[in-house]
Amino acid sequence: MDTQNSDLMVALENFWNGWASARRDVVLIVCASATSWMLSKVVHNKGGLYNRLTEQIHLESFSLAECEEYVKSKGMAFTRNQILHYYMVFGGIPFYWGFLEKGLSIQQNIDQILFAKNAPLVDEFKYLYASIFKNPENYIKIISALATKKVGMTREEIIKNSGLANSGELTTRLEELESCGFIRKYDAYGMKKKNAVYQLIDNYTLFYYQFLSSKPTDEHFWTNQINTPSINTWQGLAFERVCLEHVNQMKQKLGISGVQTEVNSWYCKADADKGIKGAQIDLLIVRKDQVINLCEMKYSNTDYTVTAEVDSDIREKIQDFQKATKTKYAIYPTLVTTYGMVNNSYSGNIQAVITLDDLFI
C-alpha cells in the first residue's frame, strides 16, 4: 500500500491526528512483517506520528518449553533431546514448527522440510530476508560476514568483511537485524562500549550457511549425516546458541532469578608478558552479589565427563579472566549440558550443573 506516490503515511497521519486521536473508542494496531518499514515509518517516525506510540509489542519466539507444549498439542511424541535438535535448526519460530509431521523422526522431518525434492523450505533463505527487508542485499552482506566468525564482529570488522560503507545506513541495518532477532549486540566484559560486538544468532540462518548454501543433492542428507564430525561440531555450537536464548531459565535453576545480573561474553588475546594464554568465554552471568557464573556449554548424548583436559581448560580461562579484568568477584564454573555430569575426581571443581530439563522450565 505504501508505494512511492500513494501518500499512505500522510493519509494515516491526518486520520490519526485529525480524527482518531480525539476519540476514546479507537485503538490503532499497526502490524507488519516488513520490519524495516515498521521501524522507519512508524516507530522512528519524525513527522505527524512522532511520539504517538502508546505501546510496542515485541513478538518473541517460542522457548523450548513452549515448543514442547506445541508438539504435544499436535499429538506428536518427541523426547526433549529431539525437540532440542529441531530447535537448534529452526529456533523457536512457530512457522517452522508447523511443518513437523507426526510419525516421522526428527531427522526424517528435517530431510523432508529442507533436503527432499520439492521440499517446502528449500528456498526459505532467499525469501526470508526479502520478505522482511526492502532491498535485502546489504542486509545479507552483513549476515554473510557475521556467519564466518562464531564470536561475532565489531562494527569495523563488519565494514571490512562486508564491503559496506561506514554510514548511518549501516547503523540502521544493524539495528533492524537486531530488532528482528537475527543478530545480537553485546559488550564483551570489561571492554569499552564503543567496541560492541555483533553476533549472528538466528538458528536457521546459521544452519543454512553450514549445510544448505552448498545445495546438497542427497534427499536424505540429514539422516545420513548422523554422528559425522561435521554434525557433532555443529551440535556443540548450536547448543551454545540455544543456551544463550534461555538465560532466564538458567538463572531460575541457579536460584538467582531475583538477583540483578548482566549477561556478557568475554575474550582476550595471548599476552606472554602478563602470563595470559588467551581465552574465550561465551557466557558470563555477572551478578550483583559479586559472583560470576562462568558457563561452559557442552552438548553430549550421555552424562558429560569433565576430563583432566577440560578441567585444565576451565582453570586457565578463570586465570586469564582474573588477570585481564582484575575482577574481585568470585568465579563459579557452571556446566550447562544435556543430561548431567559424571562423578569423578574433576567434577568437584564445577560449582553448578544445569541440564536440558532445566532449560524447559
- For 218-257, what is each residue's pLDDT tens digit? 999 999 998 899 999 999 999 999 999 999 999 999 999 9
State yes or no: pLDDT of 140 exceeds 80.
yes
Reduced to 3 states, what is the DSSP secondary structure of residue 359? helix
Tell me the pLDDT band of 137, cut-offs 50, 70 and 90: very high
Q: Exposed (0-12), middle (13-18) or buried (19+): which is 127, by Cβ within 10 Å?
A: exposed
Structurally, at CATH architecture level, domain 125-208 sits in Orthogonal Bundle (1.10)
**Residue ranges matching CATH 3.40.1350.10 in the chain:** 246-359
Task: State the average pLDDT over residues 205-215.
Answer: 96
Cell of 54: 502508546
Query: How far apart are the C-alpha atoms of 132 and 188, rounded to whole Å?
Result: 29
Task: State the average pLDDT over residues 310-325.
Answer: 96
State yes or no: pLDDT of 151 exceeds 90.
no
- Is the domain 246-359 a CATH 3.30.70.20 member? no
Tell me the pLDDT band of 4, cut-offs 50, 70 and 90: confident
Give the pLDDT of residue 35.
73
Give the pLDDT of residue 334.
98
Give the pLDDT of residue 256.
97
State yes or no: pLDDT of 305 exceeds 70.
yes
State yes or no: pLDDT of 168 exceeds 80.
yes
Tell me the pLDDT band of 97, cut-offs 50, 70 and 90: very high
List the Cα angle 63/65/70 in 5-degree steps.
95
Task: State the average pLDDT over residues 142-164.
Answer: 95
Give, for 9, the enclosing helix (H) or strand (E).
Answer: helix 8-18
State yes or no: pLDDT of 193 exceeds 80.
no
State yes or no: pLDDT of 282 exceeds 80.
yes
Cα distances from 28 to residues 2, 41, 44, 55, 190, in angstroms, run 17, 15, 17, 11, 44
State yes or no: pLDDT of 98 exceeds 80.
yes
Mean of all residue pLDDT scores within the chain: 94
Give the pLDDT of residue 192.
66
**Residue ranges matching CATH 1.10.10.10 in the chain:** 125-208
Task: State the average pLDDT over residues 41-59.
Answer: 89
Sign of the torsion formed by the C-alpha atoms of 250, 254, 258 and 264:
negative
Where is average pLDDT lowest: 1-10, 105-114, 229-238, 292-301? Answer: 1-10
